[in-house]
Structure 1
Amino acid sequence: MAKGILVDYEWCSGCHTCEMACTVELSHRGFPEGHCGVKLHEEGVYQIGEDKWTDINMPIFTDLCDQCAERMAQGEAEPTCVKHCQAHVLKYGDIADLAKDLAEKPKQVLYCLEK
């Protein structure tokens, strides 16, 4: 079954831990520094309505993301970005299961990254 990563961006704090974890993982595989399978898009703080403010941070997965295939083949339970996410906004699993979670809550994005 196809695997994916569900991002609950409502609660992403913008800490960049997903990027750092991925950069370290890819550097072990010979990728140049700064290349990453996930990049954090920071929309910034802005006002919506009279009394409400929002701060949108969105992890976006790139073509370099292979869901840590090498790591997973060695028996790890989840990609390094998911493991190290401090806000616990990344969830790894079967696309069908993640799609059910996606349908239950707004402000989420589901990535299917299988090649």
Structure 2
Amino acid sequence: MSGEITFDDFLRVDMRVGRIVEVEEFPEARNPAWKLRVDFGEELGVKRSSAQITNYTRDELLGRLVVGVVNFPPRQIGPVRSEVLVLGAVADDHPVLLLEPDEGSQPGDRIA
């Protein structure tokens, strides 16, 4: 577990609901990954990401609601400029499991 943070630190992390609108293969990745385009609504638009979530098929991902951190600086991952971090639960005994908002959530909704 990491050290404690303040509530103000938490408020600086901008987490939003997004909808995956495109899933592409990423053969250049060191570890198996998908290239994603995620729609975060009118204010933020569509952002790119690389995600090591190949335990999900393209069909399982396309149209799915996810939670993403949208205020990290972009990161170059091989030929992909990743603009958002899609969040999931990670443990040694299972693959990444995406955090998924309930239906009724809309792209762009803030996570609080």
The normalised TM-score by structure 1 is: 0.24
The normalised TM-score by structure 2 is: 0.25
Higher helix share: 1
Could you say which structure has the larger radius of gyration?
1
